[in-house]
Amino acid sequence: MATMHVEVVSAERHVLSAEMTELYARSVEGEIGILPGHQPALVALDTAPLRVRTAEGDQLSIAVHQGLLYVGRDKVIVLADIAELAESIDVARARERLDELERRLAAADDPVLRASQRKQRLRLDVAASVAGQA
C-alpha cells in the first residue's frame, strides 16, 4: 500500500512523524483529503480535527488550531499554531475552561472568547472521538 510521510508540528513541539495512507483536514474553504500521490498544495487550515490513518491501519485524531498544510511530492507537513494528539488532551481542564467561557459569553458576546470557546469544543470533540473508538 502506498504511503506518504506526515509531519505535524506546532509552535511548541513536534507532534507526529509517521508513514500515513490518508489525511483529512478542514481548510478555511472546506474539507480536504490527501492520499499518497496528491498534487502539491499549500492550504490554510481552520480550527478543526486532523484525521490520519497510519500504514498499520490505526486512525489518529489531532486537534489543530489553525495553521498551514503543505503537500509535497511524497511528504505532508502540517504547521499549526496549536496541535494536540487526542490522547494528550486534558478533558477535565478543557471542560472546565469551556464552562467558564460559556458563563462569560452569557454576560457579553466577545469574538476572542468565541474563538477560545471553539478551541475548547474542538479539544473535547477530538478526545471524545478517540474514546468512542476504544
- pLDDT given at position 74: 84
Residue 134 pLDDT > 80, yes or no? no
Q: What phi and psi values does residue 12 have, to the nearest 5 degrees? A: -95, -30
Is the pTM higher than 0.75? The answer reads: yes
CA angle 73, 79, 81 (to 5 degrees): 165
Residue 118 pLDDT > 80, yes or no? yes
Model pLDDT for residues 81-117, shown as the tens digit of each residue: 999 999 999 999 999 999 999 999 998 889 999 999 9
Mean pLDDT, all residues of the chain: 92
Q: Which fold has domain 4-86?
A: ATP Synthase; domain 1 (2.60.15)
The percent of residues in the chain predicted with pLDDT above 70, rounded, is 97
Residue 50 pLDDT > 90, yes or no? yes
Location of each CATH 2.60.15.10 domain in the chain = 4-86
